[in-house]
């Protein structure tokens, strides 16, 4: 589950494994091993991954399906616009 989450988040940002490895200061092989479930990232690395992708560690670990959006630096009006977009998307389903 963790490996799938990491891979999906990486791909959603348009990163390949080499690019993600550079972001986190690890090797491409480390990223590949995380995604394939061969090894687990350290707790510190798990937190870094969660922060980078603006998700919770619970989300990464499959304990929660909730995403989080970082709205730091946005005005209340901008946050309201984002919420309206989300509401519109949910109604399309």
Residue 51 is predicted with a pLDDT of 87
Confidence check: pLDDT of 93 > 80: no
Q: pTM above the 0.85 mark?
A: no
Q: pLDDT digit string (tens) for 17-74?
A: 999 999 999 999 999 999 999 999 999 999 999 989 888 899 999 888 776 677 788 8
Split into its structural domains, the chain has a count of 1
Neighbours of 4 (CB within 10 A): 12
CATH number for the domain including 14?
A: 1.10.260.40
Q: Is 62 left (phi over 0), alpha (psi -120 to 50) or beta?
A: left
Neighbours of 22 (CB within 10 A): 13
d(CA 63, CA 85) in angstroms, rounded, equals 26
């Amino acid at each position: 589950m963790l490996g799938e989450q990491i891979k999906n988040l990486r791909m959603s940002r348009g990163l390949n494994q080499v690019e993600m490895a550079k972001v986190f200061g690890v090797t491409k092989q480390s990223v590949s091993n995380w995604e394939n479930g061969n090894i687990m990232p350290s707790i510190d690395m798990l937190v870094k991954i969660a922060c980078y992708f603006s998700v919770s560690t619970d989300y990464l670990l499959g304990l929660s399906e909730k995403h989080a959006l970082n709205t730091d630096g946005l005005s209340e009006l901008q946050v309201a616009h984002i919420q309206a977009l989300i509401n519109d998307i949910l109604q399309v389903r």
